[in-house]
Amino acid sequence: MNSKCPLYINGQFIETAEKQNIINPSTGKVIAEASLASDKEVDLALASAREAFDRGPWPQFSLIERKNFIFRIAQGILDNAGMLAELEMQNTGKPIKETTFMDIPSCAKTFEFIANNFIDYLSQEEVNVSSDAKGKIIREPMGVVVLIVPWNYPLLMACWKMASALAAGNTVILKPSSLTPLSALELAKIIHAAGLPPGVVNVINGSGVKIGQALCEDKRADMISFTGSSEIGKQILTYASKNVKKMIMELGGKSASLIFNDVDLDVAVNSSLTSIFLNQGQMCTAMSRIFVQEAIYDSFLDSFVQKAKRIKLGLADNPETQMGPLISDAQRKKVIAYIDKAKAEGAKVICGGKIPENPELKNGYFFEPTVLVDVGVHSHIFKEEVFGPVVLIHKFSGSDEAASLANSVDFGLAACIWSQDLYLAQELAGNLNAGTVWINTYGAFYNELPYGGFKQSGFGKELGRQGFLEYSRVKSVIIDQSAENKPLVNYWYGF
């Protein structure tokens, strides 16, 4: 058991008296004991990030110096990739193949990408505003940025935020989910080894309920970048309103995949399985509503269910495993409650819907891939995020109906369109209330492309130029250029 999981504040590793057992969801066993922050450590972290921003060297470093630090963090992640993949697998229950080939390399790539591009993104603009004046549009760091991340992609979400926030010259406080703090606490060690000045990065593990309000209300924080549920996002908005902070809100989803008659059925089925069952369905962009055009509905459903039944559930450390456990017993209970409610509202379970019987899995929080049909469009499961391996499959006739079904929920995070008619698909993409639309593909995120939702899926972007610029503020500077150096406004008083 890794007993040393201290917080990281002002360049120091700090053990606290209050600890939390960290559970491996595959086995239900305790794998670590992590320090928990109280209001005292929140105060220390805010003071340290503030001091590092106001008086430390970080915001004053040249862009090249900051670039070198960001590269060193990327290299540190790569040097520790095996250990991080193992840790993320143990802490989240994600299959080891996923953490090894997806999560951890993507973390390093984001730091690398930002290091390679942020200097261009920060380039200063000059505007000739009149014959007598020149304007400059200057990008500055926001200041102290609080980064709050969820448990489904613990390190990746932290890295998306941190790479941009640091490169833009901010200092940060990262708060991982108290269910999955281990990789973030290891990232603190990598950052320490990369030589960032004390206070530039602080990592405090703690219960959101206990320390969230203090962290988000405090005047010393200038910005909050939150990824998590819409429910908690709404609470954070109220905390942040107290002192009016800049925010990025990456919230929940109930995304729709629209599958047209002309698709290659195998490709559409296989990709649709990934789009809901990857990471046990615990993805904000999970395609938890699949709409299939009438002519292929029966064959799609039949093939989807046959293949869903063949998905190999297993312990996360087994390289053969295709689906691991849910994050916790509480999450599994929430999923089961949703299915029970859906059944009471008339839905039929045609695949899964229960805890697997395999005795090897009995101590973990496993749940079978689940397919529902006959789901009413007004039922809870049609509209609310389950965050588990549960999909509903529904029929549509034409593209107007498909768009209307996709748009009929309060979320607007992502969507998929499957059709060989690229004209129709692109036109439809324009009509969808979704911040990301994949056409004939699913799940690829690019550092070049901004990502973020609409409606109750939040606002603001991560990644891409737009995502990077969220972590900066814009200042206009106006320089008088009049021939006699007598700005026009002076004539008002006739001096």
414 binds ligand NAD, rule: CB under 6 A: no
45 binds ligand NAD, rule: CB under 6 A: no
Q: Kindly state the number of chain residues that form the binding site for ligand NAD, as judged by CB under 6 A.
A: 32
Binding span for ligand NAD by CB under 6 A among 86-94, 227-235, 266-274, 484-492: 227-235
Provide the minimum distance between the beta carbon of 458 and ligand NAD in the complex, in angstroms, as a whole number: 6
338 binds ligand NAD, rule: CB under 6 A: no
For ligand NAD, what does the binding mask look like between residues 417 and 456, x meaning CB under 6 A? ------------------------------------x---
Provide the minimum distance between the beta carbon of 328 and ligand NAD in the complex, in angstroms, as a whole number: 9
- Of the pair 190, 204, the CB lying nearest ligand NAD is at 204
- Which residues ranging from 122 to 161 are in contact with ligand NAD (CB under 6 A)? 148-153, 157
Selected binder of ligand NAD within 56, 93, 141, 228 (CB under 6 A):
228
Binding span for ligand NAD by CB under 6 A among 43-51, 115-123, 172-180, 354-362: 172-180
- Which residues ranging from 273 to 312 are in contact with ligand NAD (CB under 6 A)? 284
The CA-based angle 419-425-429, given to 5 degrees, is 135
Provide the minimum distance between the beta carbon of 287 and ligand NAD in the complex, in angstroms, as a whole number: 13
106 binds ligand NAD, rule: CB under 6 A: no
Q: Which amino acid is at 269?
A: V
Placement of tokens 């109220």 in the chain: 238
- Which residues ranging from 449 to 468 are in contact with ligand NAD (CB under 6 A)? 453, 457-458
- Of the pair 228, 353, the CB lying nearest ligand NAD is at 228
Provide the minimum distance between the beta carbon of 12 and ligand NAD in the complex, in angstroms, as a whole number: 22
178 binds ligand NAD, rule: CB under 6 A: yes
- Of the pair 20, 322, the CB lying nearest ligand NAD is at 20
- Of the pair 314, 452, the CB lying nearest ligand NAD is at 452
Placement of tokens 């004939």 in the chain: 440
- Three-state SS string across the chain, please? CEEEECEEECCEEECCCCEEEEEECCCCEEEEEEECCCHHHHHHHHHHHHHHHHCCCHHHCCHHHHHHHHHHHHHHHHHCHHHHHHHHHHHHCCCHHHHHHHHHHHHHHHHHHHHHHHHHHCCCEEEEEECCEEEEEEEEECCEEEEECCCCCHHHHHHHHHHHHHHCCCEEEEECCCCCCHHHHHHHHHHHHCCCCCCCEEECCCCHHHHHHHHHHCCCCCEEEEECCHHHHHHHHHHHHCCCCEEEEECCCCCEEEECCCCCHHHHHHHHHHHHHHHHHCCCCCCCEEEEEHHHHHHHHHHHHHHHHHCCECCCCCCCCCECCCCCHHHHHHHHHHHHHHHHCCCEEEECCCCCCCHHHCCCCCCCCEEEECCCCCCHHHHCCCCCCEEEEEEECCHHHHHHHHCCCCEECEEEEECCCHHHHHHHHHHCCCCEEEECCCCCCCCCCCECCEECCEECCECHHHHHHCCEEEEEEEEECCCCCCCHHHHHHCC
Selected binder of ligand NAD within 30, 63, 209, 488 (CB under 6 A):
209
Selected binder of ligand NAD within 93, 199, 253, 314 (CB under 6 A):
253
- Of the pair 207, 363, the CB lying nearest ligand NAD is at 207
413 binds ligand NAD, rule: CB under 6 A: yes
25 binds ligand NAD, rule: CB under 6 A: no
Is the Cβ–Cβ distance between 22 and 91 less than 8 Å? yes
Is the Cβ–Cβ distance between 59 and 141 less than 8 Å? yes
330 binds ligand NAD, rule: CB under 6 A: no
227 binds ligand NAD, rule: CB under 6 A: yes
By annotation, the residues acting in catalysis are 250, 284
Selected binder of ligand NAD within 56, 169, 199, 252 (CB under 6 A):
252
173 binds ligand NAD, rule: CB under 6 A: no
Q: What residues line the site for ligand NAD (CB under 6 A)?
A: 148-153, 157, 175, 177-178, 208-209, 212-213, 216, 227-229, 232, 235-236, 250-253, 284, 385, 387, 413, 453, 457-458
